[in-house]
Amino acid sequence: MQINKSVAVITGAASGLGEAAARSLAALGAKVILADMNLEKLQLITDELVAAEYSAVYKVTDVTDDNSVAALMDLAIQEYGAINIVVASAGIIRDSYLVTPDRETGKVKKFMSTEQFRQVVDVNLTGVFITLREAAIKMVNHQCKGVLIPISSINKIGELGQLNYASTKAAIALWPKILAGEFHARNIKHIRVAAIAPGYVATPMLTSINPEILQKIVADIPLDRLVNPEEIIQTIRFIVENEAVHGTTLEVSGGIIGKGLAK
Ligand SMILES: NC(=O)c1ccc[n+]([C@@H]2O[C@H](COP(=O)([O-])OP(=O)(O)OC[C@H]3O[C@@H](n4cnc5c(N)ncnc54)[C@H](O)[C@@H]3O)[C@@H](O)[C@H]2O)c1
């Protein structure tokens, strides 16, 4: 599939990986629809892309809301007539250990709240589900050839302090296989699914954490550095351009095995 003939919808496009994906896909000639909750940043990035004479529009979108995501996909069809690439990058972290006892008293002083758990599930799991479903509905109804690219994480296994986050990312890592099978069973031949499980990437989500913890993380990466957003973008290009990539989750991590952020 050629990127310069594609329409790309990107959630989480106001920051980090989503922003990098939107900028790169636009520069490669795709028509891009940027979706996020952050209106100010959406406007700023889209204005820059349009000033560079790329095709870009934005829509304030809450991925946890059915109507909001349906309106986003409607816009893609109205504005550009198709949906070919969907990067589901919107995501949050709300880290905490399940329980943390006080050093002196031995009694629990902190725990992961139900709200912390639910918020992450809502955005990272339900939000990606809604995004893929609404995109797939439009892509089937309008016969758009394309690929769904949900963003999982290397922190899908063994992550400490991320019971909530890891649960969502582990689930998403399994979806490409299930969906490839479902599409095959329903004779939907024009939609592929491939997830990306990044390692620690230098984006605001990560650089906002405690520098000491960040240092420890880097020390555990066999590559000896964080992954660059550009290396995730190269993976998106690889997925889009290589039609045999379907039903899989690609790890791009510099070799790390997760150990946990929250202390
Ligand atoms: N940065 C990393 O090291 C890393 C590693 C592995 C996986 N990931 C995953 O990659 C994705 C992007 O991460 P990032 O580092 O770019 O994060 P980021 O915080 O820089 O960007 C996430 C974006 O999602 C948006 N968002 C949050 N809730 C939303 C909602 N309900 N509706 C719409 N938009 C919403 C935020 O406004 C923000 O712009 C996430 O799914 C994250 O879990 C990141």
The arithmetic mean of pLDDT across residues 255-260, rounded, is 68
Confidence of residue 85 (pLDDT cuts 50, 70, 90): very high
Instruction: Report yes or no on 261 lying in a domain.
Output: no
Residue to mutate (ligand 1; options 95, 203, 209; most atoms within 8 A of CB): 203
Instruction: Report yes or no on 258 lying in a domain.
Output: no
CA-to-CA distance for 37 and 41, rounded, in angstroms? 9
**pLDDT tens digits for range 191-235:** 999 999 999 998 887 877 788 888 888 998 999 999 999 999 999
The pLDDT assigned to 45 comes to 98
15 Cα to the center of ligand 1, angstroms: 7
The pLDDT assigned to 159 comes to 72
Residue 108 has pLDDT above 90, yes or no: yes
Total domain count, the chain: 1
Instruction: Report yes or no on 68 lying in a domain.
Output: yes
Percent of the chain with pLDDT over 90: 87
Mean pLDDT over all residues of the chain? 94
End-to-end alpha carbon distance in the chain: 44
Instruction: Report yes or no on 214 lying in a domain.
Output: yes
The pLDDT assigned to 111 comes to 98
Strands (E), the chain: 7-11, 31-36, 56-60, 85-88, 99-101, 108-111, 146-150, 191-198, 248-252
Instruction: Report yes or no on 262 lying in a domain.
Output: no
**Domain range spanning residue 55?**
3-252
Instruction: Report yes or no on 257 lying in a domain.
Output: no
Torsion sign over Cα 231, 232, 235, 237: negative
Question: 194: closest CA among 235, 232, 247, 234?
Answer: 247
Q: Is the CB of 235 under 6 A from ligand 1?
A: no
Instruction: Report yes or no on 143 lying in a domain.
Output: yes
Q: How far is CA 59 from CA 12, 41, 75, 228, in A?
A: 11, 11, 8, 26
Q: Is the CB of 205 under 6 A from ligand 1?
A: yes
Q: Is the CB of 123 under 6 A from ligand 1?
A: yes
Specify the pTM: 0.96
Residue 49 maps to which CATH number? 3.40.50.720
Instruction: Report yes or no on 263 lying in a domain.
Output: no
